[in-house]
A and B are shown apart, each in its own frame.
Chain A
Amino acid sequence: GENVEQHPSTLSVQEGDSAVIKCTYSDSASNYFPWYKQELGKRPQLIIDIRSNVGEKKDQRIAVTLNKTAKHFSLHITETQPEDSAVYFCAAAGNTPLVFGKGTRLSVIA
């Protein structure tokens, strides 16, 4: 089955700097790659997703890139703000339910 690895597990950045979180997946049949943000005590919330027919997708300060050949995808957050502090999860799916990475705790230091 699918296996998703996520790095780093923790990340601290200064406010205004960029943050990058990377994930790799194992199943070449996977074609959908969402990213979720989870604030403390809250549910995971979908923030951006990408499908395998697209290499990059951007939404304001957030972007996701996908390299199908290497089986990895990344989340990029620019101009980080304190409210970006949260745990971020990547996931991958093809014909089966989503498989999640173990999460990255992002801390934005003001």
Chain B
Amino acid sequence: DAGITQSPRHKVTETGTPVTLRCHQTENHRYMYWYRQDPGHGLRLIHYSYGVKDTDKGEVSDGYSVSRSKTEDFLLTLESATSSQTSVYFCAISALAGGENEQFFGPGTRLTVL
């Protein structure tokens, strides 16, 4: 597996609380992505980054923010968690842009919002 870790791996929180998920890579890849996976919806892109401090929105970005202050770390924040954000969150990395290079996934974070 590519050098990607996610923390925490499991989290249970309550509605209205802030939550931050961390993705860390040791591959020095330029591109990093956050996806959520829900039954019947596959993998949907939340936000992605194409460099330090450079980020853009994905298909399902409402309610999420991201930050990338170092090449190796990409943070996903839920400012005020809702039950609809209960999901499995995957981070992914790639050396080049979408159509030019393979994309590899981290182990995932299972988030439950009560």
Q: Which A residues have a C-beta under 8 Å from some C-beta of B? A: 1, 6, 30-32, 34, 36, 42-46, 49, 89, 93-103
Contacts and interface: CB of A to CB of B under 8 A. Distances in A.
B41 A102 contact: yes
Q: How large is the interface on B (under 10, 10 to 19, 20 to 34, 35 or more residues)?
A: 20 to 34
B45 interface: yes
- Provide the main secondary structure of the chain B interface: loop
B90 interface: yes
- Provide the main secondary structure of the chain A interface: loop
Interface of B: 1, 31, 33, 40-45, 48, 58-59, 90, 97-100, 102-108
Nearest to A32: B99
Contacts of B59: 1, 99
A97 B90 CA distance: 14
What 5 A-B pairs come out closest when comparing CB atoms?
A93-B98, A32-B99, A102-B42, A93-B99, A100-B43
Contacts of B105: 36, 43-45
Given A45-B105, A100-B44, 13 more contacts: A30-B99, A32-B100, A34-B102, A43-B106, A49-B102, A89-B43, A93-B98, A96-B97, A96-B98, A97-B45, A98-B98, A98-B103, A102-B40
